[in-house]
Structure 1
Amino acid sequence: MKAVLCREFEPRGNLRLEEIATPRIGRDQVLIRVEACGLNFFDGLMVEGKYQTRPELPFTPGSEVAGIVVETGADVTNIRPGMRVLAFNGTGGYAEEAVALAERVYEIPDSMSFQEAAGFLITYATSHHALKDRAGIKPGETLLVLGAAGGVGLTAVEIGKQLGAKVIAAASTEEKLELCRAHGADETINYTTDDLRQRLKELTGGRGIDVVYDPVGGRLTEPSVRSLAVNGRLLVIGFAAGDIPSIPLNLLLLKQSSMIGVFWGSFARANPQHQAANMAELFSWFTQGQLKPHISGAYPLERFAEALDVVMERAAKGKVVLNMGGSTSSVSSKVANQ
């Protein structure tokens, strides 16, 4: 089968598409014929050795796949061959076939396409876990989403609205903010042209923000912390800007506010039953039409490098996926035009 291989921790431009053997499964694992694979910012960090965890070399990047079950291990009882699924597989997704633990494989609704499924798991599950489990956001609270047009940011906008929050979306261009409004944002801020703190004061009447969803880091984090309301919470999702900010802790003391780390992958591995319940709720919202995954780019496996560049250069609006089904289109019109 064809698969992208990382043989050393080095620049992502050194990744190569190679022919390798189909992986073997263990007793508690499932083999999936990959129809689509979601790309994530941490894929690029991982192949360059800059992520929190380092897989054993060589490895194939790609942590979320959607496809059809080909084979199941001897101890697997809840998954069967032929089932349409998505999976959190950790690594191995940029390939024609991938292996995942059965407890991290979920049957997808009939109405969900493989491209939608490939872009669904990590982004929506991260935002759901962050806003509901970690922040405990309540109806009527104000949520600020930084990087709101990106893969996780756009899902935070949707889930924040679903949980009853007033959502302020912040992004770098008017085009991105238009997308955020289409997905439910109540207010928007262009942090390229606007003063973030001043606009937040205006939009909250000086009260401040209850919850900040921050997948960006860098220069945006400190003004966001300074804009928290009393008992406000800042969710640390990631550092797409490239810089890990240093925050004066007295800012938290003065407003009795909190900074909360969110590492969904670790949570999902340690709490499979809780994670399964969260996925059931997300699937329910999807089938009700409350969640509308936005796939801005769908690339064939052979164009993986181009697709990953789009993600790493923060040019993606919504989600980018690899489409193993043979399409050469760079945009999924079915989803992007919703």
Structure 2
Amino acid sequence: MSTAPGSAPALSVLDLVPVRTGQTSAQAVTASLGLAARADELGFRRYWFAEHHNMPAVASTTPPVLIAAAAARTSRIRVGSGGVMLPNHSPLVVAEQFAALEALAPGRIDLGIGRAPGSDPVITQLLRQSGTTSDVDRFPDHISDIMGLVAAEGATVRFTSGGTYDVHATPSATTVPEVWLLGSSDYSAQLAASFGLPYVFANHFSGEGLERALELYRTQFRPTEANPAPRTFLTVNVLASPTAEEAEARSLPYQRMMARMRTNMPLAANETVEAALEGAADFDGLAQSIMASARSKWFVGTGSSVAGQLRDFATRWDVDEVMVSPIAGAYEDEPMDAATGRLQTLELIAAAL
């Protein structure tokens, strides 16, 4: 679906459940669930949790658990995964989890599936100790398995020796979670097109390859009954504050986190804005260059300026929805169990659009 020039796209939220210095996991999760409830009130279309492991600044390790909690605290917004990193899990377990979620919140569950590990090689090895589940080459087969398992008719296992065995993710499904394929490469775009699935390009990572991925997806899309035409939206990092100066200051903790990741520096919980400002002279030229490059791809400013960028972005790429990852850092005196800067970001953008 396209967006008319200047019109407002629908907005959704991607949440990594960020953890700041001094904050507990319980406080970070409480803050994110409060943000999900407010996004529901503000009219956002969907709220997705990412899957990342063993990261000091990220608490979104188990999307299904967070989705269940968010679904219980909301009434309208779609909730889902952005995404489940499928090679880390058994397709049957994923199907059962999301069939159960669909039963908890019928018509509101999205199953976003990705192929990346979501962590470092050590954690990836620990996650993938279940034999063929970790076979990345079987990723397309596992997607097919999940789609069959969550359907009301279930899936059929055919034995090489003859005979069949019926398998259902849940005993009596009346609705199914909506499956989305996620990625940041030509491969993911072409796979989504071949399955006739909706597709999300992970533009918030770097944005490289976006134009080609969308072209491949749209031109190679194979219509299905559920999806007669290609459906896609894009992700972007955003930050809105009452003033441009505050927005830039709140972006610094995330800029510095990106520099640490890209230069293999030790990772830590997100700095406060004050700590990030005080440490400005600590980083060398390479780190500063990485920070500047990351910042150039983000939408940072006042609510009206960011809303304008989102409109232009949606029009340029012909999408009617944009999923925002709110990257606002926190000041030291802000409550640990609330996402003050991220909440402000969503409220200001929603009001401006």
TM-score normalized by structure 1?
0.30
Structure with the higher fraction of residues in helix conformation: 2
Identify the structure with bigger relative contact order (alpha carbons < 8 Å, sequence gap 6+). 2
Structure with the higher fraction of residues in strand conformation: 1
